Amino acid sequence: MRIFSVSHKTAFVVDHCPYMAESSRQLIECDMLTKSRSQGVIPLAPVSKSLWTCAIECSMEYCRILYDVYPTKKLVNYIVSDSEVHILNSWKQENQNTQELMTALAAVGPPNPRQDPECCSVLHGLVAAVESLCKITEYQHESRTTLMDTADRVANRGRIICLTNAKSDTHVRMLEDCVLETIQEQNKRAAGSDRLMPIQQCELVLVHIYPQGEETLVSDRQKKELSSVLSSEVHSVRAGRYLAGKLNVLVQQHFDLASTTITNIPMKEEQHANTSANYDVELLPHTATVLNPFSHETVTLKWCTPRTNSVELHYCTGAYRISPVDVNSRPSSCLTNFLLNGRSVLLEQPRKSGSKVISHMLSSHGGEIFLHVLNSTRSTLEDPPSISEGCGGRVTDYRITDFGEFMRENRLTPFPESMVDAACRTPVERAKFQLERHTRYWPMIISQTTIFNMQAVVPLANLIVKDTLTDEDVLTCQKTVYNLVDMERKSDPLPISTAGSRGKGPKRDEQYRIMWNELETLVKAHVGTSERHQRVLDCISACRSKPPEEEERKKRGRKREDKEDKTEKNGKDTEEKGWTTDSERLKGVMEREKDEQSECEIIKDSPDSPEPLNKKPRLATEEQQPPEKSKGPVSLLTLWTNRITQANSRKHQEFAGRLSSVNSKAELYQHLKEENGCVDLIFYLIVQLYFCMDENSFWDLLSPI
Amino acid sequence: MPTAVLLDSSLSMTRPVSVEGSEEFQRKNLAVHGLTMLFEHMATNYRLEFTSLVSFSSLWEVLVPFTRDYNTLQEALNNLEDYDKTCLEAALQGVSNIVQQEWGTSCPCQVVLVTDGALGIGRGSLRHSLQTVKQRVEDKKFPLPFPFPSKLYVMCIANAEELQATDSMDNLEQLINLNGGEGQIYTMEGPLCLKSVQSMFGKLIDQAYSPFHAVLRCGNLTSDVQVFPRPEPVTIDEEVDPMPRTVQTDLEIVGFIEIGDISSPPVLSRHLVLPIAVNKEGDEIGTGATDDTEEETSTNQMAGKSPNFCVLLHGSLKVEGMVALVQLGPDWFGMLYSQADSKKKSNLMMSLFEPGSEPLPWLGRISQLGPASDAAENPYGEDDSKSPFPIQPKHKRSYAQNVTVWIKASGLQTDVQKILRNARKLPEKTQTFYKELNRLRKAALAFGFWELLKSMAELLERECTLLSDSAHPDAAFQLSHAAQQLKLASSGDSKYAAYEHNITPMLTDFSGGGGADRI
């Protein structure tokens, strides 16, 4: 398919000279008296259309079909010619509709029989048509602009359909010569202009219209090349239905349409509401909809019941707009209304063998009717291995429902053309960005997650993925966290998967630790989005549970093992999910540690920093108790201490001094009491760190400082 | 994309090739060796491909109908018989027939012709066929171009020099040209031996049977996949954009749409999206021929047990009745959906839309589709009762807007009768009467059909005289008013003949709200 083929531009030139006012002599009886009323009334004389009226209504029918099947990119320029030229529209897409043309035609009116025939000619129109074909269309312009260096790939071709009443074959020859000459002239002019393009190929279709009952003075002639640019054909047709038939054939040829008849359409009879008769409707879709595009006979497709429903996804190899041949006939409008009301119908192609094959579907989308071509032959994809046999096919606890919810949240919707956001992203880029945000932490299976199995986490999980949070959103997130703290205090059970682990699974406090860790992972993935996201993380860090010391000590050994298991398991998970690689994870740990240290530098500068020993490194359980009750502001130091305490407690063997302490208080670093100051604080921290980890990692950690 | 292998079994294929080594080979052996290699490759990396084996001489015969059973194909290769002379045209016609019978004319197909390049003599030879190609009658047309989209690969068990010495090469090139240039000729380089036949078939495999691997992405969720059959390059407008477009190996999901909204869209092709396990070095499991099979099975089992995004996506698409819109390249999109083959087996499928910014008119421009949550008001409604699709076009189509067409006399008569029917029911039908009258008036003005306006006016005047005594007095007023207005319009006087002007009902004592008081 080429967009800039001859059919991209069609110039209609209709003769408006006095002789076109002549009657077509096709009489139409419009006084159809009903029998009961007809007595004693003399019927009115039948009316007859002029040649002009015949030409206009047939050309309008041509345009109607064209615009139905090709609402864009196939353009018509309508020109009327008498003593001057009337150009009724332009190549602009917005001018391409029959209403606009009808309005303009009404303004022109029928030819004036009293006008001087000497100064009237269709030649003016033909010259204007050639000039018009040189004018660039918006599509040509757009294409040329996009192609830049290769703009010469954009071709300029077109067709002139001239409806006239010629005097003789010589007259026809004169019209052809005139078009040829004008093309040569205009092409020279166009070569030097930006808004004009030389015509590379032009098809002239001359239609000579003569009244019924007369002999034609012009002979038919098949398409003939008059030059490398211009070809011409002559059709000599009687006005009335012959002309209509001719233009119908032409529109099919020019735009590759194939007459297709839908047969056996059951329709209710007006008189007998409970019976139905079968009707046929002829449509014009693109030739690609039929098997044999070279046959000139109409293709027959049979109406099929039962109908199809809209939630079925058919394998469809093409969909083409249609136009009914007889748009206002009762069967046609019955069928089109049926389809426009949103129903679809399957069609079958009669086969020689008599077997039924469903091959097409008629369906409307947004008020336009399409003929869908369905694949009716054997599929090369038949009998594929089921998805359950492939990778990941043996896993049974995918979060199918949650991902369904995720898909609903990420449904697409059209936005107006002008709609770009502050970052100049198109809507589709925003859609991708949203998917990225929503999947930063998204475990695929139920046993991989705790928080997404908890109703209580939903408000936070829904909000944290948003690009911007309001203060109210932050509050909701905080409430979620407090709620979790409350649950922990009440020792509510958590939906932790016991799959794979022997026995009852982890203890309650361990469960909560896993839950808090996961929640932190989720929120950390979004912490860079905004300061408000950070506040949510701060809230979690401040509120999350820390294992009580006594317990800690007792279970030290076991926990360490668990911990190692856990890290290993997590490590495996992350690899599988592709979140991070091992090295990245290590780097992350290092960076976190560094962060913690830089935080302590901030504290150093803060005049509000309390003295280190006033905050005890290990708080008694009671003192630490219910965080939800201490909703007041928490200092950064508290946050930090809490976090590092907790982190450390998991990393190291208990400090010997503390083990031998009384009431969890050991007399250590006594000198710090006397010497106030930040340097000491750092020193204190470093020393503490030293005790937290083995020697090598301690020095590794310190080396960047 | 099914493959039809067309193997030359004429006597000339039994010509021995001189090899320095111990064993003596026939050209046929080399052909079988090459095809064995091709079938082995397909069995491992392209096993969903349907392949048929046809042998030909002066006659042709389907040795194996289209199948995925590569053992059967291999077996047939091992039991070849030798026949008489080469007659390619009949064989090509045969292939054309079996492909159409099996797959119709829309399914793209690859034809692999394996021959020694001795293309026959006299009648039935390719030379003779090509000489007479333009003098055929309708039902004896040369089989090329094939009526289905196709690629014709000619594998010559001969080297280029040998073929150029006769007119064989020219004839084969002409053959490809007849197929619209779709295809390629492969010849052997160097001496005719197992090694050079391997290298020739290796090139064919690279060209036509390399599996398409890609990464399917939805934000941070990813899966390595094989897309089968591999998507072929597409050219939409050979003039403006002659460079064929290829599907990129990064398939990025941009969002989701309901099946009802996407509404059986037309697609260029359909493909299975199969998740594959890729080990850390980036090698696909199973490609290495040296792999221990037991080890392989265990890795496959492992892969089956570790969660895969494709499976999750497939499950949710199926349950929700949705499709995922996926970007295939710049300005090129497709959709992912669950496709059930039978009741038990279902799969993740990908269909490719036509490249371009607006492949489906009812979705509008794809670049303008954004997340529904960005809209001021939920376009799907709070209870999922609405949908932003389909997009309505700017102008209604003719069948949706009550156009006037008088090409057939019946069209005109119906419109006139409609007005008269309403005229007889005045004043109840005043609104419809004027609506229909104005429709006729507008069309008559546009068509320059003033004579009709005059006749219609006369008809209305006569209706007026035919009114019964019991008729409402308003009817007479409206009829003569309408008739007069039509007559004025038929004068062409711009004051009355303006297209946009509408004849409005006459305000009488009997019409309008105040009427009742005055009676």
SS (H, E, C) B153-171: EEEEEEEHHHHHHCCHHHH
Lowest model confidence (mean pLDDT) among A24-28, A141-145, A282-286, B139-143: B139-143
| Class of residue B384 by CB neighbours under 10 A (exposed 0-12, middle 13-18, buried 19+) | exposed
> Helices (DSSP H) in A625-677: which residue ranges?
636-651, 656-659, 670-674
* Beta strands A157-164 and A201-210, pairing class: parallel
pLDDT of residue B162: 85
Instruction: Sort out which chain B residues have CB atoms less than 8 A from A58's CB and list them.
Output: 407
Q: Is B483 on the interface with A (CB under 8 A)?
A: no
Contact A57 B405 (CB under 8 A): yes
Q: Which helix (H) or strand (E) holds A369?
A: strand A368-374
pLDDT of residue A8: 96
Lowest model confidence (mean pLDDT) among A619-623, B318-322, B357-361: A619-623
Contact A377 B104 (CB under 8 A): yes
Instruction: Sort out which chain A residues have CB atoms less than 8 A from B411's CB and list them.
Output: 328
Q: How many residues does chain B have?
A: 519
Q: For tokens 């050991």, what's the residue?
A: A666
Q: For tokens 């166009």, what's the residue?
A: A190
pLDDT of residue B300: 65
Contact B319 A317 (CB under 8 A): no
Exposure letters A50-77 (e unless 16+ CB within 10 A, then b): bbbbbbbbbbbbbbbbbbbbbbeebbbb
More confident residue, A80 or B26: A80
pLDDT of A421-457, one tens digit each? 666 788 999 999 999 999 999 999 998 899 999 999 9
**How far is residue B352's CA from residue A336's CA, in Å, rounded to a whole number?**
29
Asked if B54 and B94 count as a contact pair (C-beta separation under 8 A), the reply is yes
| Single pTM value for the model | 0.82
pLDDT of residue A102: 95
pLDDT value at B281 more than 50: no
Return the structure tokens found at A11: 């110039």
pLDDT tier for residue B306 given thresholds of 50, 70 and 90: confident
Q: Is B126 on the interface with A (CB under 8 A)?
A: no
> Helices (DSSP H) in B245-383: which residue ranges?
259-262, 293-305, 309-320
Sheet holding B109-115, edge to edge: B60-67, B51-56, B3-8, B109-115, B150-159, B183-188
pLDDT value at B158 more than 60: yes
Calculate how close chain A gets to B268, using CA atoms only, in Å: 6
pLDDT value at A596 more than 60: no
Of chain B residues 275-314, which have a CB less than 8 A from chain A? 275-277, 301, 303-314
pLDDT tier for residue A211 given thresholds of 50, 70 and 90: very high
- Torsional sign, CA A289, A291, A292, A297: negative
For B67, nearest residue in chain A (alpha carbons): A380
ipTM: 0.88
**How far is residue A684's CA from residue A611's CA, in Å, rounded to a whole number?**
11
End-to-end CA gap in chain A: 67
Reply yes or no: is the peptide bond before residue A306 cis, omega within 30 of 0.
yes
DSSP per-residue string spanning B2-23: -EEEEEE-SGGGG-EE--SSSS
**How far is residue A88's CA from residue A80's CA, in Å, rounded to a whole number?**
7
pLDDT tier for residue B507 given thresholds of 50, 70 and 90: confident
pLDDT of residue A383: 81
Strands (E) located in B229-377: 250-258, 269-275, 322-329, 332-340, 346-352, 369-371
More confident residue, A417 or A65: A65
Asked if B287 and B295 count as a contact pair (C-beta separation under 8 A), the reply is no
Calculate how close chain B gets to A243, using CA atoms only, in Å: 10
pLDDT of residue A695: 52
Q: Which of B398, B424, B436 to mutate to test the interface with A (most CBs of A within 10 A)?
A: B398
pLDDT tier for residue A614 given thresholds of 50, 70 and 90: very low
Contact B257 A435 (CB under 8 A): no
pLDDT of A540-577, one tens digit each? 988 886 655 544 555 555 545 444 444 444 444 444 44
Residue B345, CB-side half-sphere exposure with 13 Å CA sphere: 12
Q: For tokens 């034809």, what's the residue?
A: B111
Return the structure tokens found at A589: 């740990």
Q: Which of A24, A41, A313 to mutate to test the interface with B (most CBs of B within 10 A)?
A: A313
Q: For tokens 């361990």, what's the residue?
A: A510
DSSP letter for A398, please. B
DSSP letter for A257, please. B
More confident residue, A546 or B154: B154
Of chain B residues 217-256, which have a CB less than 8 A from chain A? 218-223, 228-229, 236-242, 252-256
pLDDT of B34-68, one tens digit each? 999 999 999 988 888 999 999 998 889 999 999 99
pLDDT of residue B122: 78
pLDDT of B342-368, one tens digit each? 667 889 999 999 999 899 999 999 999
Contact A378 B259 (CB under 8 A): no
Residue B308, CB-side half-sphere exposure with 13 Å CA sphere: 30
Closest to B392 (Cβ–Cβ): which among A2, A4, A366?
A366
Closest to A428 (Cβ–Cβ): which among B218, B254, B319?
B254
Of chain A residues 321-380, which have a CB less than 8 A from chain B? 321, 323-324, 326-328, 332-333, 336, 340, 361, 363, 365-369, 372-373, 375-380
Q: Of A159, A163, A161, A173, which Cα lies nearest the Cα of A219?
A: A173
DSSP per-residue string spanning A40-85: T-PPPPPEEEEHHHHHHHHHHHHHHHHHHH-SSS-EEEEEEESSSE
Closest to A415 (Cβ–Cβ): which among B344, B362, B368?
B368
Of chain B residues 318-337, which have a CB less than 8 A from chain A? 319-325, 337
* Beta strands B25-26 and B16-17, pairing class: antiparallel
Q: What average pLDDT does the structure give for chain B?
A: 87
User: Count of CB atoms within 10 A of residue B388's CB?
Assistant: 20
pLDDT of residue A291: 57
Q: Of B357, B339, B355, which Cα lies nearest the Cα of B347?
A: B339
Return the structure tokens found at B88: 């390619």
pLDDT of B166-185, one tens digit each? 888 888 999 999 998 899 99
pLDDT value at A621 more than 90: no
Contact B317 A332 (CB under 8 A): no
**How far is residue B284's CA from residue A615's CA, in Å, rounded to a whole number?**
56
User: Count of CB atoms within 10 A of residue A388's CB?
Assistant: 18
- Own/partner long-range contacts of A500-509 (Cβ < 8 Å, ≥24 apart): A500/A447, A506/A562, A509/A545, A509/A547, A509/A551
Q: Is A143 on the interface with B (CB under 8 A)?
A: yes
* Beta strands A299-303 and A230-238, pairing class: unpaired
pLDDT of residue A237: 95
Instruction: Sort out which chain A residues have CB atoms less than 8 A from B345's CB and list them.
Output: 383-386
Instruction: Sort out which chain A residues have CB atoms less than 8 A from B226's CB and list them.
Output: none
Asked if B28 and B80 count as a contact pair (C-beta separation under 8 A), the reply is yes
- Coil/strand/helix, residue A337: helix
**How far is residue A636's CA from residue A607's CA, in Å, rounded to a whole number?**
12
Q: For tokens 């269709």, what's the residue?
A: A122
Q: Is B419 on the interface with A (CB under 8 A)?
A: no
- In percent, how much of chain A has pLDDT > 90? 50
| Class of residue A127 by CB neighbours under 10 A (exposed 0-12, middle 13-18, buried 19+) | buried
State phi, psi for A312 to the nearest 5 degrees.
-95, 135
